[in-house]
Structure 1
Amino acid sequence: MDYPDFSLEDRALSKGATRIAGVDEVGRGPLAGPVTAAAVILDPTRIPAGLNDSKKLSAKKREAIAKEIWATAQVSVAHATVEEIDEINILRASHLAMERAVAALDPAPDYLLIDGNLIPRDLMLTSEAVVKGDGKSVSIAAASVVAKIARDDIMMDLAQQFPGYGWDTNAGYPSKSHKAALQNLGVTPHHRRSFKPVHNILYQG
């Protein structure tokens, strides 16, 4: 398996950056719940062993690595709500969550490595967009792990309040059972009304 490394961070350091944050978001595809972003400034001397893109790690490994990241790095997590997603669209909302996560880092970073091909428009710091960044940069991978666990925890809490949708296992993604529950149980306040499967149920003739 290929692992992300510190080479993008080293390049930024060689250009004079001193505090490099990796930024990633999770939750663009689900039909329910917020979109969550994390920003992480790793200590280069204490990078967790086995750190990788959160999608390539088992749940147990992810939990262990997340604990290590929180213990050794500077971390912030932020969200954009379902209401914001419906109001400004999911791409803009995911960027808003990223902007909030970066703004919450104190002291502030001076260079950002951002997963994806777009830089959120309100980030005023020197930034580099990295396509599939969670597989290339350890800082982005760390952000992906932290964001995923933070969002999964929210969805598990919501699953207790709204049983039947399987959010504790599908995290709000449009699984077959989640779509069936939408049909049978209806739309909750945590569903994204601008997403087609939800919209269609609300407005079916």
Structure 2
Amino acid sequence: MKAPLEAEWWDLGLRVAGVDEAGRGAWAGPVVAAAVILPGPGAYPFADSKTLTPAERAALESLVKEVALAFAVGWASHEEVDRLGVLQATHQAALRALAQLTPRPQALLTDYLRLEPVWRTYAETPTAPLCAPPKADRLSPSVAAASILAKQARDRYMEALEARYPGYGFAQHKGYGTPQHQAALRHLGPCPEHRLRFAPVARLGPFEPG
């Protein structure tokens, strides 16, 4: 079995944070980032959240919180996505997650999320290692654990929007651009949780309560 991405850093005794996000490509709702520090080498069953069923994600979310040395979730609202752009809003969510970790991590792994400016602002030393390879959520249990926490937190938020803004199907598509969501937007127009800078939403104009 191939060694996880953080194996070398664990061998050096470093605390490694895995960071991943959920919601970057959605048309509505926040971007959510999670950060997880696992206690070191182990046989972790965590996997990319996109490959898991809802029941599997729920069970593994509980396990992450049970075994992690530290974990946290950071949020960037749909207003921040509109104001800052989705990339900078994601950076803000990641920094907010990292800032909550105790103890602080000494190395950072992300799933192809370029967090150099955020990490250099936050890290204890300017040479603290950072790695952001593609598919890290499949190659790192720390990043996989973060992906599970981020998706679970965001999914719960979007499911709660169903009651506030019925008719959009948020509980089903979680704000992504499915045919169901597109049809709802054509019929209802955007709601206050939509990202108005995203072209498919912007074309429909501002939300006006009925």
User: Structure 2 length as normaliser, TM-score?
Assistant: 0.89
Aligned residue pairs, count:
198
* Change in CA separation of 1:105 and 1:47 when aligned onto 2, cut-off 3 Å: farther
SS in structure 1 at match of 2:132: strand
State the shift of 1:47 in Å: 5.1
State the shift of 1:43 in Å: 2.4
State the shift of 1:105 in Å: 0.5
Alignment partner of 1:32 is 2:38: no
Q: Distance in 2 between matches of 1:32 and 1:7?
A: 34
SS in structure 2 at match of 1:8: coil
Structure 2 residues not aligned, in runs of 5+ = none
**Is this contact kept in 2: 1:24–1:114, CA < 8 A?**
yes
Q: Which residue of 2 aligns with 1:78?
A: 74
Q: Distance in 1 between matches of 2:21 and 2:79?
A: 17
SS in structure 2 at match of 1:76: strand
Q: Which residue of 1 aligns with 2:176?
A: 173
Find 1:65's aligned residue among 60, 84, 87. Answer: 60
**Is this contact kept in 2: 1:21–1:139, CA < 8 A?**
yes
Alignment partner of 1:13 is 2:16: no
State the shift of 1:10 in Å: 1.5
State the shift of 1:30 in Å: 0.7
State the shift of 1:202 in Å: 0.4
**Is this contact kept in 1: 2:29–2:158, CA < 8 A?**
yes
Q: Which residue of 1 aligns with 2:194?
A: 191
Task: State percent identity of aligned pairs.
Answer: 40
Q: Distance in 2 between matches of 1:36 and 1:47?
A: 27
Structure 1 residues not aligned, in runs of 5+ = none
What letter corresponds to residue 176 of structure 1 in structure 2?
A: P
**Is this contact kept in 2: 1:23–1:38, CA < 8 A?**
yes
Q: RMSD across aligned C-alpha pairs, in angstroms? A: 1.7
User: Structure 1 length as normaliser, TM-score?
Assistant: 0.91
